């Protein structure tokens, strides 16, 4: 067939001929105008249809009305997601099962994270699961108390948390979860004001019944 703009716009038609010898007949230039008008009408119909569905599309697009979720797998993924809390402009509320963090590949990283958080003056309140390992870990805690406040919470007071084996952070309009149990280690961040408000309220209720952590006083020399 004719593979040129003239054929596309209807300015020439094939009249006769075969093989390499083909005869074409020129059409009146008005056909070009009509062709463009037809295209214009088609685009106007398309535009009208898009405009009709625009409110629905905008509703689907609205990020504020639905959570935004991202996650990364593995220990490095957890570190990447968790490190974003160091940019927090608000206090961090945490629910912590220390067992997940108390492994060689994360222990030093956790200490470095806490130093950086204190350096940035980001306050954190932590509900720590009252477990044997948690108590043992707290005996040797050497972190800062200026920006960190701990309280004990019984695992049975927060059903399901003990099975998580990690930590939940609540700050700004975000919720960060570090899932540290094998084989599904991953870091998850959810941006959702509604979810954040619900978990924040539950945290405050649990905080009221949690017991303060009493650290042993340092012996004076």
Determine the structural domain holding residue 106 and report its residue range.
68-212
Domain identity same for 17 and 38:
yes
- Residue 220, domain member (yes or no): no
Domain identity same for 31 and 130:
no
**Which of these, 113, 123, 171, lies nearest to 146 by C-alpha position?**
123
- Whether the pTM exceeds 0.85: the reply is no
How far apart CA 168 and CA 82 sit, in angstroms, is 10
- Residue 30, domain member (yes or no): yes
**Which of these, 177, 179, 219, 171, lies nearest to 196 by C-alpha position?**
171
Phi then psi for residue 214, to 5 deg, are: -100, 110
How far apart CA 13 and CA 34 sit, in angstroms, is 16
Are residues 38 and 138 in contact, defined by beta-carbon separation less than 8 angstroms? no
Q: Which of 44, 61, 78 is the last residue of a domain?
A: 61
Q: Which of 61, 78, 99 is the last residue of a domain?
A: 61
Could you give the number of structural domains in the chain? Answer: 2
Domain identity same for 83 and 168:
yes
Per-residue pLDDT of the chain (221 residues; tens, 9 = 90+): 444 554 544 555 554 555 556 555 556 667 667 777 877 888 888 788 878 877 776 666 565 557 789 989 999 999 999 999 999 999 999 999 988 887 888 888 988 998 999 999 999 999 999 988 888 888 777 666 789 999 999 988 887 777 777 899 999 999 999 998 888 899 999 999 989 999 999 999 999 999 988 765 555 44
Domain identity same for 139 and 198:
yes
Domain identity same for 74 and 117:
yes
**Strand partners of residue 175:** 170, 190
DSSP character at residue 210: S
């Amino acid at each position: 067939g004719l593979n040129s703009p003239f054929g596309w716009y209807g300015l020439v038609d094939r009249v006769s001929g075969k093989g390499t010898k083909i005869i074409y007949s020129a059409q009146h230039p008005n056909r070009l105008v009509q062709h463009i008008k037809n295209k214009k009408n088609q685009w106007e119909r398309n535009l009208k249809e898009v405009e009709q569905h625009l409110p629905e599309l905008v509703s689907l697009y609205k990020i504020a009305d639905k959570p935004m979720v991202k996650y990364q797998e593995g220990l490095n993924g957890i570190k990447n997601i968790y490190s974003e809390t160091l940019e927090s402009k608000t206090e961090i509320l945490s629910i912590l099962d220390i067992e997940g963090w108390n492994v060689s590949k994360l222990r030093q990283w956790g200490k470095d994270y806490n130093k950086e958080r204190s350096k940035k003056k980001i306050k954190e309140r932590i509900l720590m699961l009252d477990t044997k390992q948690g108590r043992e870990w707290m005996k040797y805690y050497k972190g800062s108390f200026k920006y960190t406040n701990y309280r004990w919470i019984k695992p049975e007071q927060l059903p399901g948390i003990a099975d998580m084996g990690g930590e939940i952070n609540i700050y700004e309009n975000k919720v960060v979860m570090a899932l540290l149990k094998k084989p599904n280690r991953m870091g998850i961040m959810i941006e959702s004001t509604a979810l954040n408000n619900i978990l924040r309220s539950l945290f405050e209720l649990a905080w009221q019944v949690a017991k303060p952590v009493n650290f042993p006083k340092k012996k004076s020399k």
